[in-house]
Structure 1
Amino acid sequence: MQDTSLNFPVEQQLQPAYLKEHFWKCNYTSVDAPLQYWILLPNTVKPVVTNPVAHTELKLTSIGQYCTVDNSAYLEVQMLYEHVSYEMNAADWLLKKLAIMSEVVLHVRELKGKSTGNYLDVLTCSTWPNGDQMVSRFTVLKDYDIERTGANLLCVKVTCKIEDYPDYAYQILQIAGNWNFIHLSDWQMAEYLFPFEYDFTEKVSFYLPESWEIQFETNNTKLFSRFIFIHTVLGKNKGIINACFYALAQADSAANLYQKAISNLLLSSPEIQPLQPEVCTNPQVKEFFTATGTLSYEGEKNSAYLKIYILKTVGGWYYFEQIGPKPNLENDFWEVNKRAMEIVTDSFNNRSFDKKDIVMPPVTTPSQINPIKQQPNRWLPINWST
């Protein structure tokens, strides 16, 4: 059933005259203004459920279900949303929902916003209780909720039988790619951002979501400075970012910083992958490395997710250590922590979120101490960045 040969079009081939004649615009206004949306639907697809329906096992609410109302092949459209308090990527959020729904990912297209994170266009397959094999296309958007604060993550799910998909592929593309919030705000994030500023060997500045707290070390110098950023939820620590700033003279390479970090982490029994050069679109970052791993505290039961980021600019080396819950299906803390670090790296000395052409920096991969192979998270597609 996992047929990755199914067509996954991203450019419309149906003629504008056909689309104008065979589609209609639905405005859904049966909910509060921040959740109201519009969507283009085939003339044969009409509303069947308009009242909100909660799906507690998915932490989702359906706000609109539409189905074919004539004798044509079955086509279903659902709009599903969740309200979240903390900023995260819409792409990471949707992948988790697909796992909970037992959808098998066939094709993934990731779309990157300038400052609002990553989005997802994905084709999946699943088997319904009656045995029918179904194909679905999902897309997702995010918008700030001016009434409740936080953000609404809203996705469309367009579904048909697998045998009908070749005939429906371009109609499904039209539906999945043509919808939006009616009252779209000018802030597509769950939180406002606060600027961190520090006068180091260069003026350092970047953004973090406002729910993160900062702790300053008292003995910081122009050669070495340390900061701790903490994400606390209901009095409990759900994420830490340790930040160490080094003058260029204090470290000759990313490998050197990595060795120092490993020495400090050995008390926590780390299992960590090799440090790797990564692509960074931030034009102020000249070299960029990451490594992921696990910190174990008194056994696997209390282990934590670890990711190291090392940045080099014209004025210094910057080491960040993200620690928090591992990816899981019970909460979104891993997604929240990941997004916070992405905001830091994207806005580092670049608070306008400018981007450069994606090129791999001409650097040598540093050596690694005792590399440990990690098992991939089961719901994340192959090569999906963690």
Structure 2
Amino acid sequence: VLFSTTIFSDTYSLAWMPLDEPDNIQPVTINGLIHEGQGEMTTLERLEGNRYLLGFNIDGCSWRYEGVLDEETMQLNLDYVLCGQGELANGVLEKLRYDKAGDRYAISFSTAVSPTQLYTLSGPNRDQLQRHTDETILGIPRHLLSTGEDASFTSYDGLRISARLYLPAAELGYTGPHPLVYYIHGGPQGQERPDFAWFSMPFIQFLTLNGFAVFVPNVRGSTGYGFNYMKQVVRDWGGADRLDHVHAMTEILPQDGRIDVNRAGVVGRSYGGYMTLTLAARHPELWSAAIDMFGPYNLVTFARRVPETWKPFIAMLVGDPETEQDFLLERSPYTYMENLACPMLVIQGQNDPRVIEQESRELVESLREMGKEVEYLVFPDEGHDVLKYENRIRVYNTMTDFFKEKL
């Protein structure tokens, strides 16, 4: 049996297990990989006979290969790149299905500048790609959108951090260094990818259309880079993950002359909202504006208010609110919020079961009592997200207008 495993690699690799010797698991060598960067193996699928499909997530971008397994030498020899080059590059493979009868693939694929498109890929050399849809972004010419560029960096302790930078298209006519929006994903076990089908990418594109540079890091704790990378945020919210962001803002981004870090705003959703609050309160000198979307404000009250079925998980991931109050308060934005020095916008769904509305309301009330500049936007028909079309239009515009005014 050929299978993927973390026995030999933290980011997954292939192994072979003889059914008559199940304890004799052997590594399988992969030949023909051409991608660069860091990530992990995501897919192994047997097509027919000894032919296999192999997939990777490399710095958020999808790669798929087709190859032949040589059982004698324990090698998988890759013959074709199905996704990762040409038109199917720098994006996310939403779905891929193999049609055995027609010896072809059905593919759905999205990029930073394109909604999900449908394709077929066929031919003996897997070089006959045909697109069957032409989804567009409200008629906006693609050349005015930002494809993004790799902006991975080495953090304060030598760890490589995957990141992308989205800049306004030159054709838009913006001159001089661009004000910066620093975008932090949720999770923390999540990953921001160049995928227009995801909530954040339309917002990122809208920001670049309005002249902003948008920096999107996947700091330690993110998925897509192996178990060790992902586990580094467990019971360390606001620790090393925070320092990755600070290093980027103080040592990395100031070196890019296209960006004006003196006009920087920070925004994040859920855990990203927590980190937004943390960075704005603990490192106020870095920010001119901040937007918190349903982020935990006080980790003790947050952990006590999550659904009952979540409480054991939160105690393991973040900390126990009954036995570790001091630790959780030390890591809570609540403890440092008096240091906030920039205007803040707080966004919340009234029906949020994870970060309940009271959590954000207490934040807003506390800031107002301190005399801080804060705006509060509550969606009465949303939960732990902004999903309804009319609400998304409002929230994209509200956030962008806030950054335009403050930055």
- Normalised by the size of structure 1, how large is the TM-score? 0.26
- Normalised by the size of structure 2, how large is the TM-score? 0.25
- Comparing both structures, which one devotes a greater share of its residues to helix? 2
- Comparing both structures, which one devotes a greater share of its residues to strand? 1
Q: Which has the higher contact order (CA 8 A, sep 6+)?
A: 1
